[in-house]
Amino acid sequence: AWRKLAACEFQGKEQFQREVVRHVETTLARSMYNCDDAAAYAGTALALRDKLVIGWNKTQQNQTLQDQKRVYYLSLEFLMGRALDNAMLNTQVKDVARDGIAELGFRIEDVINQEHDAALGNGGLGRLAACFLDGLATLNYPGWGYGLRYRYGIFKQEIVDGYQVEVPDYWLDFNPWEFPRPDVAVDVMFYGYVKKDTDSDGKTIIVWEGGEIVQAIAYDVPVPGFDTSTTNNLRLWSSKPASGEFDFQKFNSGDYEGSIRDQQRAETISAVLYPNDNISAGKELRLKQQYFWVAASLHDIVRRFKKTHRPWSQFPDQVAIQLNDTHPTLAIVELQRILIDVEHIPWDQAWEIVTATFGYTNHTVLPEALEKWSVPLMQHLLPRHLQIIYDINLFFLQKVERMFPKDREMLTRVSIIEESQPQVLRMAYLAIIGSHKVNGVAELHSDLIKATIFKDFVAIYGPDKFANVTNGITPRRWLHQANPKLSDLIASKLGGYEFLKELSQLERLRPFIDDKEFRREWMEIKLSNKIRLAKYIRDTTGISVNPHALFDIQVKRIHEYKRQQMNIFGVIDRYLNLKAMTSEERKKVVPRASIFGGKAAPGYWMAKTIIRLINAVGEVVNKDKDIGDLLKVVFIEDYNVSKAELIIPASDISEHISTAGTEASGTSNMKFVLNGGLIIGTCDGANIEITREIGDENIFLLGNLAEDVEDLRHRHRYGQVEMDPKLRAVCDEIEKGTFGDPSVYEGLISSLTTGCDYYLVSDDFSSYLTTQDLVDEAYRDKDGWATKCINSVASMGFFSADRCINEYADMIWNVEPLVPVK
Ligand code: 26M
């Protein structure tokens, strides 16, 4: 027997039941006699919410009272997923809730499944922010998230005739997890003009006025830590017309439509999440979102600081702000503007405060993802900010000129302004110049940014300004919640659930590696997770997958650099091989289920074509009588956080096969291994550190290295590469029409042939296929496979979000945890 977790907040299941019934009958005004799963969910969520609020208020009071340095995580994306299960587990009331709700006639799983995902993010960057909030709260750091309250999160994906169709994700009709704060409202200005004026002492001051004002309203979301009373805050801003801005004149003169249009224009700002992952489009509304959110958040942070009546020089001792990619870079300019224009602090002093406050995390090296805003657009929307950016740039370039007096080229290269037509602002450069630390998200990535896109800045600032903080994931959601059976089994061996707070404790599983009974239970849990997924696939797609087949999973945003196309080409090759075999030969084959999931950005044609091809291959393969269980191809619709929780624990192998040097880190790779799956992957991002931790005998690495990529691309551009014959055969099969009208796939194939195969599929394809053969070989040895899985899980401690948050806290934020109140 193992130590049970601390006592729950409810005084037993009876109190829990009373609270649920009270909410159903009074808050929802419904009778328990016609209470369905949805009402049971609402009642359960509201009952739990009442408990959360107590710890939340205490935490916020305590943080105000202690008045220590706080950290603010600015992110345009928080991919939170569902809250109920997580809150029950973190506050340890799930057992009570399960028993209580069962007596009321419901299954806790059904109740949990009623909740709509909070999908305010695209992919890795947004989910990382959510994992960080969990880590901050669990470790008792005073840490807030600041984001936008999108009315529509990432679109819902439907597959119609094999094509992705986007459906709006309206998620707010019942959201018990947010608390509107109508008293926390900030006016944010756009457009207008800048003029010089004199103050009462006759000093020249700069005023920015005459613009359009939009109001930001705060909505607060509680973030409970695991096994602690600390409950932090995620503050999301919603836009509405400022009072007085709503045009009464138009309204009174009968122009209702005109007045409503103005109102809608304000509300449009927080209406929808941009569905692009790793691509920047440069749209005005996106820039408005960024400034709206940044201005409201900074106003809030500054207001909190001013209540303490400290001198401004102490601002960086009280406040650390982390920029999640360049999306909030205007915060640097906005703080400088507040300090010089509003607080009238001299430029140099202000700039010192600014740079000591900010840290910037880079998440990508892909050129198309680096944000660049057009100067005319910035001039129009934020004229004062553009002036300040010019000054920041001027002082910076003067410094560079003093350091490198003869190097004119250097000045052109590092200038915030790119001399294109029109001129554009390089936001990453501004973020570097305005921060005291810049970090990448995995070792290779942090090395690459220093050697490539930010090389000149290393020469200017020295290497110490640049750091690595390898990403991490929260083991609470990604092990305990997603895979409760595995979590329980581990707890039974380690004598409790301490490992969920100190993940390196997993090392202590190693002595059990030869324990027959333990191994049997381990593999039984994997099988039951595969059965759970197979059932879901059957119910939603009609495809039947044998749970004993090797489950090969690739779930992530669809992007050429992530190379789902290489995966599906490999599947076609496998299919062709199976077709060519005798029935005797087929008996020796390891059955495989190739499972895909992920969204394509709505305007990304190549990504959509890849989805189409996966579905077309599935159509052909899944009904081929020669093939049967030996190969199934499944595309799971609408991949999101809650589906990830179902899918990830069911994998035998998962694919992380980006072109070397393109995937900054990856975080699902960590989730899969933590759940006892193995990886087939390239030497890219965090795969490299995962290999170092778990040992190269436990991972299937393939393909060229990042250092080879430049040369390979060069050769493709000069037509010096023969296409791999097996890839040629796959393309021929597609062009023959085996998977439907081949003209649909023309672009996909020509990107390899007439194009320059930028993502180097043909260079890695043969290595990919031979490595997949090694996977089959290894999977035949069931015992050897189990050993690899268990050993890997035992080595995953490093990838906890807690380790990662502690590194940020020590190296970048200089913040300490706060002793929680009881
Ligand atoms: C930019 C401009 C306009 C609209 C959207 C964007 C944009 C949105 C998301 C650009 C990039 C976005 O995300 C990048 C991202 O998710 N990067 C991933 O970050 C993860 C966490 O660090 C890493 O694990 C992934 O490797 C990396 O691809």
Task: Read off the pLDDT of residues 567-590 as tens digits, 9 standing for 90 and up.
Answer: 999 999 999 999 999 999 999 999
The verdict on the CB of residue 280 being under 6 Å from ligand 1 is yes
Kindly report whether the global pTM for this prediction surpasses the value 0.95: yes
Which ligand 1 atom minimizes the distance to the CA of 280? 2
Distance from C-alpha of 342 to C-alpha of 359, rounded to nearest angstrom:
23
Distance from C-alpha of 167 to C-alpha of 272, rounded to nearest angstrom:
12
The verdict on the CB of residue 79 being under 6 Å from ligand 1 is no
Residue nearest to atom 24 of ligand 1 (CA): 666
Q: What is the pLDDT of residue 248?
A: 67
CA dihedral 483, 488, 494, 497 (to 10 degrees): 80
Using DSSP's 3-state secondary structure scheme, residue 173 falls into coil
The verdict on the CB of residue 274 being under 6 Å from ligand 1 is yes
**Quick check: 19 pLDDT over 80?**
yes
- Determine the average pLDDT of the residues in 750-768: 95
- CA 109 to chain CA centroid, nearest Å: 25
* Token duo for residue 197: 């004026």
Q: Is 541 a catalytic residue?
A: no
**Quick check: 7 pLDDT over 50?**
no
Q: Is 288 a catalytic residue?
A: no
The runs of H, that is alpha helices, within 483-543 are 484-494, 516-541
Average predicted confidence (pLDDT) for the chain:
96
Q: What is the pLDDT of residue 261?
A: 84
Q: Is 198 a catalytic residue?
A: no
The verdict on the CB of residue 278 being under 6 Å from ligand 1 is yes
The verdict on the CB of residue 592 being under 6 Å from ligand 1 is no
Q: What is the CA radius of gyration of the chain?
A: 27
**Which of 77, 78, 79, 125 has the most ligand 1 atoms within 8 A of CB, as the residue to mutate?**
125
- pLDDT-based confidence at 11, cuts 50/70/90? confident
Residue (of 81, 82, 62) closest to 70 by Cα position: 62
The verdict on the CB of residue 665 being under 6 Å from ligand 1 is yes
Q: Which of 476, 671, 726, 788 is an active site residue?
A: 671
Q: Is 562 a catalytic residue?
A: yes
Burial class (CB in 10 A: 0-12, 13-18, 19+), 711: exposed
Expressed in angstroms and rounded, the spacing between residue 441 Cα and the centre of ligand 1 is 11
Residue (of 791, 789, 773) closest to 524 by Cα position: 789
Using DSSP's 3-state secondary structure scheme, residue 743 falls into helix
Expressed in angstroms and rounded, the spacing between residue 514 Cα and the centre of ligand 1 is 42
Q: Which of 326, 667, 682, 771 is an active site residue?
A: 667
Instruction: Give CA separation, 260 vs 189, 292, 504, in Å.
Output: 19, 20, 57
Expressed in angstroms and rounded, the spacing between residue 325 Cα and the centre of ligand 1 is 8
Total Cβ atoms within 10 A of residue 21 = 16
- Percent of the chain exceeding pLDDT 90 equals 93
**Which of 155, 363, 427, 662 has the most ligand 1 atoms within 8 A of CB, as the residue to mutate?**
363
Distance from C-alpha of 555 to C-alpha of 596, rounded to nearest angstrom:
5
Expressed in angstroms and rounded, the spacing between residue 643 Cα and the centre of ligand 1 is 20
Residue (of 507, 493, 799) closest to 672 by Cα position: 799
Residue (of 169, 154, 159) closest to 124 by Cα position: 154
| DSSP β-bridge partners for residue 620 | none
**Which of 120, 274, 364 has the most ligand 1 atoms within 8 A of CB, as the residue to mutate?**
364
**Quick check: 273 pLDDT over 50?**
yes
Expressed in angstroms and rounded, the spacing between residue 121 Cα and the centre of ligand 1 is 9
Q: Which of 526, 530, 556, 632 is an active site residue?
A: 556
The tens digit of pLDDT for each residue in 363-383 reads 999 999 999 999 999 999 999
Which ligand 1 atom minimizes the distance to the CA of 123? 16
- Determine the average pLDDT of the residues in 71-100: 98
The verdict on the CB of residue 663 being under 6 Å from ligand 1 is yes
- Determine the average pLDDT of the residues in 31-56: 97
Which ligand 1 atom minimizes the distance to the CA of 278? 11
**Quick check: 598 pLDDT over 90?**
yes
**Which of 293, 325, 329, 370 has the most ligand 1 atoms within 8 A of CB, as the residue to mutate?**
325
Q: What is the pLDDT of residue 493?
A: 98
Residue nearest to atom 25 of ligand 1 (CA): 666
Q: Which long-range contacts (CB under 8 A, 24 or more apart) does 296-300 make?
A: 296/186, 296/188, 296/216, 296/218, 296/237, 297/72, 297/74, 297/146, 297/235, 297/237, 297/328, 297/331, 298/331, 298/334, 298/335, 298/338, 299/186, 300/146, 300/184, 300/186, 300/218, 300/235
Angle between helices 484-494 and 516-541 (to 10 degrees): 170
The verdict on the CB of residue 573 being under 6 Å from ligand 1 is no
Give residue for tokens 């909070």. 118
* Token duo for residue 360: 């910037």
Expressed in angstroms and rounded, the spacing between residue 286 Cα and the centre of ligand 1 is 15
Residue nearest to atom 16 of ligand 1 (CA): 125
DSSP assignment, residue 170?
B
Q: Which of 70, 151, 327, 363 is an active site residue?
A: 363
- pLDDT-based confidence at 821, cuts 50/70/90? confident
Which ligand 1 atom minimizes the distance to the CA of 127? 21
Distance from C-alpha of 304 to C-alpha of 217, rounded to nearest angstrom:
16
Expressed in angstroms and rounded, the spacing between residue 51 Cα and the centre of ligand 1 is 35
- pLDDT-based confidence at 4, cuts 50/70/90? very low
Distance from C-alpha of 524 to C-alpha of 138, rounded to nearest angstrom:
31
Does residue 245 contact residue 185 with C-beta atoms inside 8 Å? no
**Quick check: 232 pLDDT over 80?**
yes
Q: Is 608 a catalytic residue?
A: no
The tens digit of pLDDT for each residue in 506-520 reads 999 999 999 999 999
- Determine the average pLDDT of the residues in 257-283: 89
The verdict on the CB of residue 122 being under 6 Å from ligand 1 is yes
| Domains contained in the chain, CATH given | 475-804 (3.40.50.2000)
Burial class (CB in 10 A: 0-12, 13-18, 19+), 474: buried
- Determine the average pLDDT of the residues in 163-192: 97
The verdict on the CB of residue 125 being under 6 Å from ligand 1 is yes
Q: Which of 519, 557, 559, 599 is an active site residue?
A: 557
Please spell the DSSP secondary structure of 367-436, one letter per residue: GGGS-EEEHHHHHHH-HHHHHHHHHHHHHHHHHHHHHSTT-HHHHHHH-SEE-SSS-EEEHHHHHHHT-S
**Quick check: 564 pLDDT over 80?**
yes
Total Cβ atoms within 10 A of residue 196 = 8
Residues across the chain: 822
| DSSP β-bridge partners for residue 209 | 193
Kindly give the pairing relationship between strand 231-241 and strand 212-224. Answer: antiparallel
Does residue 804 contact residue 472 with C-beta atoms inside 8 Å? yes
Which ligand 1 atom minimizes the distance to the CA of 128? 21
* C-alpha torsion sign, points 197, 203, 205, 209: negative
Please spell the DSSP secondary structure of 293-344, one letter per residue: HHHHHHHHHHHHHHTTT--GGGHHHHEEEEEESSTTTHHHHHHHHIIIIIS-
Does residue 290 contact residue 303 with C-beta atoms inside 8 Å? no
Is the complex ipTM higher than 0.95? yes
**Quick check: 8 pLDDT over 50?**
no
The verdict on the CB of residue 364 being under 6 Å from ligand 1 is yes
Q: What is the pLDDT of residue 277?
A: 87
Q: Is 556 a catalytic residue?
A: yes
Distance from C-alpha of 303 to C-alpha of 394, rounded to nearest angstrom:
30
Q: What is the pLDDT of residue 255?
A: 82
